[in-house]
Structure 1
């Protein structure tokens, strides 16, 4: 027979374990959410691949890719795509360019966030190379061209919710970085 003190001790231990699990889950939630979005394309998150992952053959079906750009008001940059719309064969590797110019008189580092709309297209929009993978530092008055190499996975044609999409928008927003990380 267990005593009241043993029952209270067991209850306290279980409560402490629950609190520890909740704290651990809170710290893990951001990386787990990011991983979930990357795997599923949830919320317009694009996929990432290297050259070896390219589809063998373009399908011949054409889709428009619209390019959008935004800058946080705290970042003294001009930032825009060179072309606003590009016709893209599904499965074909494509390259698009954005231009950024530092309008200030000091070096400024920015980082880009991105998404794809419609949201269900995110899991099929795959980037091979992108300026958004690293922080970008521009010297005073410097202007740069920044490439995005991408393709649209032919599996989009098999998805009942995405197969009829005729236009995908790739949108970037640049934000200032308070303390740039060392680039190796």
Structure 2
């Protein structure tokens, strides 16, 4: 005996509602996964994710590490991009400023955005940026050149971590990409090309 048509209709509606809820939940989780992953990376330094600090460390310890600088540009962005200095030596907790040099090689204004990480990955939780061009999108006019600053320090607590005893060199890497939104760029306090690469007295 077949169930009444009204029962079938109710079952179909329940099945459709359940399927819709499942799909909506999966979509919601997929969107939530990205910011949750970013929060996790920032909190743990996972994948070489660096930290953001409002001010320098409260102490400087007598252990020195070499910080090397790397630069790449995605092929869709016709820019030249390189560190002004290849490496500096810093004491743990010491605030330093270095600069990257960028030049727009095209005949039109372009907006770029930079991704970044440090290696070894386990050093990410200890690498703190106070100022960085990577915090905002960057706009360069045709042929324009800029020296873009990065102010950073390596957390002195690195010296207390037994897992970091083998770390003598940290590499900070940036890759510039063509920004999806080319209509505007945030303005940042940047230095003209040729400015000093290291803060005086640093």
The TM-score normalised by the length of structure 1 is 0.88
Alignment partners' CA distance in 2, 1:174 and 1:61: 32
The aligned residue for residue 30 of structure 1 is 34
1:183 to 178, 183, 186: 186
Match of 1:107 among 109, 113, 117: 109
Aligned counterparts of 1:109 and 1:12: Cα–Cα separation in 2: 45
**Length, aligned pairs only:** 179
Structure 1: gaps spanning 5 or more residues? none
1:175 is displaced (CA, Å) by 0.6
Alignment of 1:66 with 2:35, yes or no, is: no
Could you tell me how far 1:14 is from its partner in structure 2? 5.9
Q: Deviations over 1:44-91 (max 9, x none)?
A: 00000112xx21221020000000000111111110001101001111
Range moving further from structure 2, 115-124 or 15-24? 15-24
Deviation (angstroms), 1:182: 5.2
Whether the 8 Å CA contact 2:137–2:185 is kept in 1: the answer is no
Q: 1:99 to 1:12 in 2, by over 3 A?
A: same
Shift of 1:148: 0.2
Name which of structure 1's ranges 71-80 and 11-20 shifts more when overlaid on structure 2: 11-20
Change over 3 Å in CA distance of 1:159–1:10 after alignment to 2:
farther
Shift of 1:9: 8.1
- Calculate the TM-score normalised by the size of structure 2: 0.80
Q: Name 1:77's counterpart in structure 2.
A: 79
Which residue of 2 is the match for residue 138 of structure 1?
A: 140
Deviates most, 9-18 or 86-95 = 9-18
C-alpha RMSD over aligned residues? 2.1
Deviates more, 1:14-23 or 1:102-111: 14-23
Question: What corresponds to 2:125 in structure 1?
Answer: 123
User: Structure 1: how far apart are the matches of 2:99 and 2:26?
Assistant: 44
1:92–1:17 Cα change, 3 Å: same
CA 1:45/1:78 → structure 2, altered by over 3 Å: closer, same or farther?
same
Indicate the structure (1 or 2) with the bigger Cα radius of gyration: 2
What secondary structure does 1:112 align onto? strand
Deviation at 1:164, TM superposition (A): 2.4
